[in-house]
Amino acid sequence: MIAPGMLLLFLSNSPSFLSLFLCAIGTVSIMIRPRLNLFSALRTPPVRRSFATEARLTSDHVRVVEVGPRDGLQNEKKSIPLETKLQLIEKLAKTGVTTIEAGSFVPAKWVPQMASTAEICEHLLKTPPQSPSTIAYNYLVPNVRGLENLIKVMDATGVPAGTSSSQSATTTEISLFAAATEAFSKANTNCTIDESLERIRPIVALAKTKDIRVRGYVSVALGCPYEGPDVPPAKVADITATLLEMGADEVSVADTTGMGTAPRTMELLQALKAAGIANNDLALHFHDTYGQALVNTIVGLEHGVRIFDSSVGGLGGCPYSKGATGNVSTEDLVHTLHSLGMHTGISLDEMSRIGAWISGELGRANESRAGKATMARLEGKC
């Protein structure tokens, strides 16, 4: 008998085949109740502590965090016009997604593609895009100065930090980055892990005084371009717990290099749970470098995680991790989640149209298989 994990690894290259497989073994009906049962033999001991900050998510709802406008575009070589970035965000806002990474308040010399973030933020505050639901616009801030620059934009537009725009149900949030390995931390932020956490502490403190929600990231959690694939899960759990203890409202654990596999993802999730980290406070961020992002997503679903990051059209990479290709595409993620009976509130058709459009604007291939198949259907080609 073939182990479920091996079947998942084989079937991961096709969301449709994966859906049929899950339906065949009767797990879809299980999933929309408490959880999947694909890895029932792997269970974890009771948690010792909890940092939960939100009401428990319903078991069949998944919040998808769209990272395309920030993580997806930051590594593009060709300069992208401000108007194109704004169009992308405005189009995404109409799909039903509720969290969008809109930019980074980082020095232009670090990430030139993010040089227009202040203008994007100002535009979104003054003229919020139409959307079917409340939208949280998230901005990466690398240091206190970055957050201060964000607050200046908010104050200048007459929208106090931590409040919703008067024209639409939108909020402004920040994200912060730490790394799970010393080598990556040194390459990315020129400091040790402990030093980076100490730099983050005053950022969180300032955000809390302004009632701004904070999202933490732990990069290279399942593999490092400098130290290899064997990142200690306990180290990732310790950093995640530290960020939550500081006051982060949520931490996204990122497979920045795409080295993650189903067994190692489960091992990491078990370590996080053993450290007392609640699923409510946890998001997963997968790259599809080795074609394992959807497999790892299902492992996360089985574990009870209900927040996942993705990028329209599979845009993205990491400027500090050579060879790490794009994030899992939002279209592929949404297609898979819907096939499993989960609810996202996102229109796959609209997201697929956006993926095709932005890929054309950037002059690059559309990396989403579900998106391309959906467009073929919409255009009557299949």
| Apex 64 CA angle, 254 and 128, nearest 5 | 115
77-90 burial, b at 16+ Cβ within 10 Å, e below that, comes to eeebeeeebbbbbb
Amino acid letter for position 104:
S
- Residue 191 DSSP symbol: S
User: How far apart (Å, rounded) are the C-alpha atoms in residues 370 and 352?
Assistant: 8
Contact 253, 272 (CB under 8 A): yes
User: How far apart (Å, rounded) are the C-alpha atoms in residues 76 and 80?
Assistant: 8
What's the token pair of residue 317? Answer: 């990479």
Residue 118: how many CB atoms within 10 A of its CB?
17
Amino acid letter for position 226:
Y
> Given 191, 224, 318, 382, which residue is catalytic?
318
Which has the closest alpha carbon to 119: 160, 75, 89, 98?
A: 89
Contact 193, 233 (CB under 8 A): no
What's the token pair of residue 4? Answer: 């479920």
Q: Which residue's entry shows tokens 């946890």? A: 282
Q: Is 191 a catalytic residue?
A: no
Strand stretches in 126-281, DSSP E = 135-140, 170-179, 213-219, 250-255
User: How far apart (Å, rounded) are the C-alpha atoms in residues 46 and 172?
Assistant: 35
Q: Which residues belong to the active site?
A: 318
